[in-house]
Amino acid sequence: MNLEHELRQALKRRTPSSGFDERVLGRIASGATVPVPAPQTRWTRLALPVAASLAFALAGSYYVSQHERQQELAQAEQAARDVVLALQIASEKVSAVQVKVQEISHHERQVEY
């Protein structure tokens, strides 16, 4: 079998059903339009995915730096809260010591009379 010859026979041009031209004109007359995509070349087919990858990478790195900044901020806030807590504890201890000192002083005064 000569495959290429057989394919030429099997894939001959086909005539559409009668009145095809009238149907096309009718469709045009009714105002039908079809979207005509801009012709794509090899370059535009390549440019879009490359641009998308770059945009994604930039957005990703921006997100990462924003995330890092937020983490640093959260750590700083936590450190500040820790300092405040430490001061509060220290303050409470000082107060407790003051109360004790006063008690001792009062007791000693009582003993002297």
Partner 1 sequence: MQTAAAPANAPRALADDLVAQARAGSEAAFAEIVREHQSMVFGLAYHFLQSWSQAEELAQEVFVALYQNLARIESPRHLVFWLRRVTSNRCIDWVRSPRYRREVPMNDAHEPGAMPRWRDPMLDALLRRLVAELPPQPRMVVTLRFQEDLDLAEIAAIIDLPLNTVKSHLRRSLDALRRKLAQRGHIHES
| Residue 27 vs 67, nearer CB to partner 1 | 27
Does residue 33 belong to the site contacting partner 1 (CB under 8 A)? yes
Does residue 46 belong to the site contacting partner 1 (CB under 8 A)? no
Does residue 14 belong to the site contacting partner 1 (CB under 8 A)? yes
Longest dimension (CA), the chain: 134
**Nearest distance from residue 24's CB to partner 1, in Å?**
5
Which three-class secondary structure state does DSSP give residue 14? coil
Does residue 37 belong to the site contacting partner 1 (CB under 8 A)? yes
42: tokens are: 């090899």
Residues 17, 15: Cα–Cα separation, whole Å? 7
